[in-house]
């Protein structure tokens, strides 16, 4: 028997020290190369960079960002009051531009979309955690365009009415579950969103609220939610750090990435394997109609397109059924006071949960919704999509929910592909450009008293123009806007309508004092809201 050879401790420490010095030297060299290339850019010499916090040599605004003690979107909103609607940060030579107004976002992401539809490399998420298959993160390329086109063809607006029977069935199931088990309310909402997307994408019928695939996706997105905001890990600014082995001192980000990468791959591949087994057994023609089988039929015998379809299916699934599980949840009929939504959150679950919290906080709004439903629909049946145009107050509640509690207060990062000049400011090529949706949707100029839930602001008034539609700012921007937003919004609408037609939400009663427990709205780090009890 042979023993594994080991280096003396002193020699091992020497190797580790040499590796650290080599990495530090390579890191500083790469940062200096980026900084110097920007210093001597000719366009840069003619136009100033956007204003922003004072930068230090080499590290730039790294210390400023590290000192932030609130959610990024709130910090950026505060900085915009000092530096304006567009301001500049630089971290280890990597430029960042933050947009805080609707005009700036429209000018940059919409009118100049050809230059701003790229994504930054996102090393932590794509390279280390294995999310490169998600076309929401892909670089702007022919590969991205193919994925986007494949997805959009099935989820475009004119396709959504074909899903109405599935949406109605899921809403009815939600009401039944609430009747028998009200304490697990958020799980039932999650089941509502999950059952819809699994049926639409894979033809999979969920059997229970603890469906294996939904739990799998939820687990995967927990990791994604901690890394998706650009700069959550230093490796996004200094990709050379990705070469550090996971055992190296301080390389905890590599250990996290290795752990999270397994969940990412399994989430995409697990449901697909089951779908393919069923599809192959049923001889490519009699399997359950859904996005996956429709697309496989359309692109028969194409291994390349099969990979694209698998990726698109995974994107739809992960993006529409998951949410963070930190904390407890808001539960009727005697509701607790905590509701948690986090990055990567499902638009359906988020919107429904936000609406419920608002209706709980403002019972007079709940009364108005139910009076409108009684007047238009009556009490002998559930609301249907045919009733939607006749329920303007309910529509206003949904719209205000999107504004008041946006799913993604910060957009996924864009990247400038070429040097640009905007409003006299120079934006270097390769800049990470982030839109602050929260700042736009809480601008008192367009939405007076922005922290208060006021559905009436979206009801037509003679002589007054309606404020901007929040759906223009909560699903991303330009060519990177979320293509699944139509299904998500319809899923949320039918659930809220059915819930308000059958239930009255009330606050939880403190068993010791007999008084109502008031929910408290608070924030958490990440790119979505947290509603938390004291």
Residue corresponding to tokens 């959504």: 160
CA separation for the pair 402, 408 (Å, rounded): 10
State the Cα torsion 428-420-88-524 to the nearest 10°. -100
Please say whether the beta carbons of 530 and 340 come within 8 A. Answer: yes
CA distance 166 to 48: 54
Q: Is 482 annotated as a binding residue?
A: yes
- Find all residues with CB under 8 Å of 267, minimum gap 6, and list them: 216, 217, 219, 220, 314, 317, 318
C-alpha to C-alpha distances, 85 to 80, 99, 163, 416, nearest whole angstrom: 5, 6, 40, 18
Pairing status of strand 86-91 against strand 432-435: unpaired
Cβ neighbours for 235, distance < 8 A, ≥ 6 positions apart: 123, 124, 128, 241, 242, 253
Give, in order, the Cα–Cα distances in Å from 421 to each of 32, 43, 46, 416, 432: 24, 9, 10, 11, 15
What is d(CA 41, CA 49) in angstroms, rounded to the nearest whole number?
12
The reply to whether omega before 333 is within 30° of 0 (cis) is yes
Numbered residues of the known binding site for heme: 482
Numbered residues of the known binding site: 482
């Amino acid at each position: 028997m042979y023993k594994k050879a080991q280096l003396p401790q002193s020699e091992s420490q020497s190797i580790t020290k040499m590796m650290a010095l080599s990495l530090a030297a390579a890191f500083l060299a790469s940062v200096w190369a980026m900084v110097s290339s920007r210093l001597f850019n000719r366009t840069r010499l003619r136009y100033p960079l956007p204003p922003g916090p004072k930068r230090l040599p080499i590290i730039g605004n790294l210390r400023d960002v590290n000192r932030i003690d609130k959610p990024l979107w709130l910090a950026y909103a505060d900085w915009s009051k000092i530096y304006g609607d567009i301001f500049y940060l630089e971290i280890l030579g990597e430029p960042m531009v933050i947009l805080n107004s609707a005009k700036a976002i429209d000018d940059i992401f919409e009118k100049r979309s050809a230059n701003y539809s790229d994504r930054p490399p996102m090393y932590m998420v794509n390279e280390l955690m294995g999310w490169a298959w998600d076309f929401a993160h892909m670089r702007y390329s022919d590969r991205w365009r193919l994925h986007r086109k494949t997805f959009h063809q099935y989820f475009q607006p004119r396709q959504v009415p074909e899903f109405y029977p599935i949406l109605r069935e899921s809403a009815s199931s939600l009401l039944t579950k609430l009747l028998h088990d009200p304490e697990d309310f958020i799980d039932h909402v999650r089941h509502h969103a999950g059952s819809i997307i699994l049926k639409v994408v894979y033809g999979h019928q969920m059997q229970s609220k603890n469906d294996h695939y939904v739990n799998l996706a939820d687990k995967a997105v927990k990791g994604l939610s901690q890394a998706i905001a650009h700069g959550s890990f230093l490796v996004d600014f200094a990709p050379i750090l990705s070469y550090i082995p996971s055992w190296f001192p301080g390389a905890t980000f590599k250990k996290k990435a290795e752990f999270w990468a397994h969940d990412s791959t399994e989430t995409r591949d697990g449901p697909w394997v089951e779908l393919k087994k069923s599809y192959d057994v049923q001889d490519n023609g009699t399997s359950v109609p859904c996005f996956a089988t429709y697309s496989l039929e359309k692109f028969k015998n194409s291994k390349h397109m099969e990979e694209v379809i698998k990726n698109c299916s995974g994107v739809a699934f992960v993006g529409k059924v998951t949410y963070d599980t930190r904390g407890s949840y808001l539960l009727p009929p005697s509701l607790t006071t905590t509701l948690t939504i986090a990055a990567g959150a499902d638009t359906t679950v988020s919107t429904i949960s936000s609406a419920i919290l608002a209706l709980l906080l403002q019972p007079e709004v709940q009364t108005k919704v139910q009076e409108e439903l009684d007047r238009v629909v009556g009490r002998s049946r559930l609301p249907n999509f045919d009733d939607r145009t006749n329920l303007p107050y309910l529509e206003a509640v949904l719209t205000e929910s999107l504004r008041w509690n946006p799913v993604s207060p910060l957009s996924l990062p864009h990247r400038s592909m070429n040097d640009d000049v905007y409003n006299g400011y120079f934006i270097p090529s390769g800049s990470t450009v982030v839109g602050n949706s929260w700042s736009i949707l809480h601008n008192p100029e367009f939405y007076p008293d922005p922290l208060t839930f006021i559905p009436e602001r979206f009801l037509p008034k003679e002589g007054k123009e309606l404020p901007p539609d929040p759906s223009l700012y909560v699903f991303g921007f330009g060519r990177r806007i979320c293509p699944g937003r139509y299904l998500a919004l319809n899923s949320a609408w039918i659930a809220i309508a059915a819930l308000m037609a059958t239930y009255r939400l009330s606050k939880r009663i403190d068993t010791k004092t007999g008084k109502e427990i008031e929910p408290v709205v608070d924030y958490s780090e990440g790119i979505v809201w947290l509603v938390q009890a004291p």
